[in-house]
Amino acid sequence: MATIGTDIEKAVYWLEKGEVVAIPTETVYGLAGNIYNEGAIAKIYAAKARPRTNPLIVHVADIAAAEALVTEFPPVARELATAFWPGPLTMIFPKSETVPDSITAGEKTVAIRIPDHPLTLALLKATGFPLAAPSANPYNYISPVTAAQVNDMLGDKIPYILDGGRCTKGIESTILAVQQDGQVQLLRPGALNVNLIEEKINTTVGQKTKESPAHAGMSKVHYSPRTPLYLFGTGTDPVQERTGEKTAYLFFKEKRSGIPDDRQWVLSSGGDPSEAAWNLYDSLYMLDQGGFGSIMAELLPETGAGLAVNDRLRKAAQPYIGK
């Protein structure tokens, strides 16, 4: 099993040897390796059982390190980087030749972010090389938000887990495609709310089109518990015909009468979508361990962090009931 600790030198030691190490970020835990070490990259894909056709996000310590990996850093990207890095924003750039094709799955672009976690920022400064890091879950499973969850999921495949406590955002970064002419497209909603991005650059963020860079969040099933998950519309009553299956209910803000108390949970009793995002994977993981026959989860209103939560719920769910 992996050693769990807060020792940056140990993490550096393993990374320099070409091993992969789980790292804390503000969003979810990542499974990190040196982008210039082909063996380490292969180990990331193997540990997750992730297809090699799905590219990885590169994590860097500062904007200069990001610039070194790209051929164009559009002005709009600079504005966003200055405002939101370190933070839960990933941007896609045309890659420079020095970025290995193995981490971009052969794409001519590279996804980059500066994570906002003191341990991982210190680690990035100490290694001096960028870290490729997908979320530290087995392919298509729930993303981990604590070191203990990483250990449960992948502890037998990696030597070290850098323990940075529970992730403060609890859901992955927002991914944007940024163009030289100032256009910005949302490839994956995430922990940075789109309205904050739009306010900052005074531009409407476009939705994904057929011409958008492929990959980001493309896989139809994703983020899924092993227990079948079904959804119901915000504020509506869940279909309760599944009670014979020992169903667990996950509501946005309010418990419902008529359901036993030990079968229902809420994501945010104050109705705060960001708090719901923070609790989402942690709750799904807990329920997945709970021996339930099925999980019924309520969608959030489609605003702010609700967009990111609903994106994950829809990808995690069985063909869903209701809206």
**Where on the chain is the footprint of Mg ion (CB under 5 A)?**
135
d(CA 26, CA 168): 5
Contact set for ligand TXA, span 168-207 (CB under 6 A): 172-173, 175
Part in contact with ligand TXA (CB under 6 A); list of ranges 105-113, 194-202, 250-258, 291-299? 105-113
Which H or E run contains 231? Answer: strand 229-232
Q: In what order do the strands lie in the sheet with 264-266?
A: 229-232, 294-298, 247-251, 264-266
Indicate the residue among 135 and 193 with the shorter CB distance to Mg ion.
135
Q: Which does 310 bind (CB under 5 to 8 A by kind): Mg ion, ligand TXA, none?
A: none
Q: If binding is defined by CB under 6 A, does position 54 make contact with ligand TXA?
A: yes
Give whole-number Cα distances, 237 to 65, 227, 309, in Å.
50, 21, 19
d(CA 17, CA 131): 13
Q: If binding is defined by CB under 6 A, does position 308 make contact with ligand TXA?
A: no
Q: Which does 138 bind (CB under 5 to 8 A by kind): ligand TXA, Mg ion, none?
A: none
Q: Which does 55 bind (CB under 5 to 8 A by kind): ligand TXA, Mg ion, none?
A: ligand TXA
Q: If binding is defined by CB under 6 A, does position 92 make contact with ligand TXA?
A: yes
Three-state secondary structure readout of 35-62: CCCHHHHHHHHHHHCCCCCCCCEEECCC
Beta carbon of residue 65, minimum distance to ligand TXA (angstroms, whole number): 15
Q: If binding is defined by CB under 6 A, does position 21 make contact with ligand TXA?
A: no
Part in contact with ligand TXA (CB under 6 A); list of ranges 5-13, 35-43, 72-80, 103-111? 103-111
Site string for ligand TXA, 134-153 (x = CB under 6 A): xx------------------
Beta carbon of residue 177, minimum distance to ligand TXA (angstroms, whole number): 8
How many other CB atoms sit within 10 Å of the CB of residue 202? 8
Indicate the residue among 25 and 127 with the shorter CB distance to ligand TXA.
25
Q: Which of 131, 133, 113 is nearest to 123 (CA)?
A: 131
Q: Which does 154 bind (CB under 5 to 8 A by kind): ligand TXA, Mg ion, none?
A: none
Q: Which of 126, 125, 143 is nearest to 134 (CA)?
A: 143
Is the Cβ–Cβ distance between 28 and 164 less than 8 Å?
Answer: no
d(CA 218, CA 214): 7
Indicate the residue among 223 and 265 with the shorter CB distance to Mg ion.
223
Q: 179: which DSSP letter?
A: -
* Site of interaction with ligand TXA (CB under 6 A): 25, 27-28, 30, 54-57, 88, 90, 92, 104, 107, 109-111, 115, 133-135, 172-173, 175, 213, 215-217
